Amino acid sequence: MGIEKDKLFDVIRQKLPKNVLFTEEIADVLDVSYDASYRRIKGRTALTFKEAVKLASHYKISLNELYDLPSDNSLL
């Protein structure tokens, strides 16, 4: 997932209030531990497509943005 993962996390960061701890927020949404969330954010553990879709859906992010697809080819 590489670049798209980084883009996804960047977009999520922009949507969150400054007082929210990013790693904890991702852990809550994915229902994983803080450590597992940290590993996904840092790229030590791959973010699965299913997890990316779950995050995109939760934060109402179009996967088209991440893959630079026209909106008429909607993914989510």
> Would you state the pLDDT for residue 51?
94
In-domain check, residue 71: no
Q: How many domains does the chain have?
A: 1
* Residue 24 belongs to domain with CATH number: 1.10.260
- The pTM of this model reads 0.82
In-domain check, residue 57: yes
**pLDDT string in tens for the chain (76-residue length):** 555 788 999 999 999 999 999 999 999 999 999 999 999 999 999 999 899 999 999 999 887 777 777 666 555 5
Measure the CA dihedral 59/28/16/53, to 10°: -20
HSE-CB of 10 using CA atoms within 13 angstroms = 8
In-domain check, residue 72: no
Place of tokens 């859906």: 57
CA distances from 50 to 17, 20, 25 (A): 25, 24, 17
Q: Which domain holds residue 61?
A: 2-66
